[in-house]
C-alpha cells in the first residue's frame, strides 16, 4: 500500500546576484577563471582589503547577511 505524500507549497528559491549587491555597496569582486571547475572569486571591501578569498556562493550570501545587505 502506498503512503499518502503531502507537500507544503513554498516559493521557489531565487538565486541572487551577489556581484551586483557587493558592487552596489562599494565592494569589488575579482573573478579568476580556472582551468577546471568554477571560477575563483575574491571579494574586496571598499578599503581594498580582501574580505573573502576563493568565495563560494554560500560564503558570499552568508557574508552579505552578516553585513545586513540581504535578509
- 29-42 pLDDT, tens digit each: 999 998 998 888 99
Range of the domain at 37: 18-66
Task: Copy the grid coordinates of residue 23.
Answer: 558592487
Strand locations in 1-71, DSSP E? 28-32, 40-44, 50-52
Is 38 domain-assigned?
A: yes
Distance spanning both ends of the chain, measured CA to CA: 43
Query: How many other CB atoms are found less than 10 A from the CB of residue 41?
Result: 20
Indicate yes or no: pTM above 0.85: no
Sheet strands side by side (includes 50-52): 28-32, 40-44, 50-52
Quote the CA–CA distance of 23 and 39 in Å, as a whole number. Answer: 18
Is 40 domain-assigned?
A: yes
- Give how many domains the chain has, as a whole number: 1
Is 33 domain-assigned?
A: yes
Low-confidence ranges of the chain (pLDDT < 70): 1-13
Amino acid at each position: 500500500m502506498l503512503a499518502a505524500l503531502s507537500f507544503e507549497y513554498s516559493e521557489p528559491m531565487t538565486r541572487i546576484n551577489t556581484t551586483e549587491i557587493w558592487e552596489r555597496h562599494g565592494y569589488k569582486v575579482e573573478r579568476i577563471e580556472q582551468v577546471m571547475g568554477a571560477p575563483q572569486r575574491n571579494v574586496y571591501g571598499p578599503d581594498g582589503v580582501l574580505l573573502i578569498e576563493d568565495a563560494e556562493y554560500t560564503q558570499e550570501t552568508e557574508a552579505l547577511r552578516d553585513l545586513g545587505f540581504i535578509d
